[in-house]
Chain A
Amino acid sequence: MFLARIDGTVTSTVKHQTLAGLRLLIGQRLEADGSPTGDPLILVDTFGARQGATVLVTTENEPLRNRVGNTTPARLLVAGLVDEVFQEAKA
């Protein structure tokens, strides 16, 4: 899993049938210092994460496969809303 910042929502009318009704968000993976890293990511969300929120993202899509079937191409799921990250003080 990793942390990501939610930047917005994605709307798609013509899409894979297993994605119907799913909430899609666009987000950015975060490093430990809070800086964004890598390409923007499209996430499937069931928690109602808002813009600016920090979320926990998992690449294990079993919950989604259980819901919409094994044929879904979606991979990244929001697994939780992060309240806080406690980090060791920098030396």
Chain B
Amino acid sequence: MFLAKVIGNVVATQKSPEFQGMKLLFIQPYINKDKTLVQSGSSIVAVDSVGAGVGECVLFTQGSSARLTHNTKGAPVDAVIVGIVDSVEVEGTIVEKP
């Protein structure tokens, strides 16, 4: 699993029928660098399974594991948000969320 910030919503009317009713969020992955979270890699579209919203720091998982949550079963999903992050602590200090 990785950390990311939700930066937007994606709207697609024509899509695979398995995606019906799923919330697609646009997220930007973050990594820890010198005890601060910095942007890393390209932005990703992920299905939301926890009710996350724009601006929040979230946990997401990628790959075939993404198809194992209750609302992504059987859908061609490769990225899903599985948690909303309250705080991150690195070596004793709470790092600021993105």
Contact = CB atoms under 8 A, between A and B. Distances in A.
Contact of A2 (B11, B18, B44, B66): B44
Interface string A55-91: 0101111110000000000000101111111111000
A22 interface: no
B78 A1 contact: yes
Given A60-B64, A88-B54, A88-B55, A81 B16 contact: no
Q: Chain A interface secondary structure, helix, strand, loop or mixed?
A: strand
Given A58-B76, A60-B67, A60-B78, A31 B42 contact: yes
Contact of A83 (B11, B46, B67): B11
Interface residues of A, number: 28
Contacts of B16: 63, 79-80
25 contacts: A1-B24, A1-B47, A2-B43, A2-B44, A31-B42, A31-B43, A32-B43, A37-B42, A38-B42, A60-B76, A60-B77, A62-B76, A79-B19, A80-B15, A81-B13, A81-B14, A81-B15, A82-B10, A83-B13, A85-B11, A86-B54, A87-B8, A87-B26, A88-B8, A88-B55
Interface of A: 1-3, 29-32, 37-38, 47, 56, 58-63, 77, 79-88
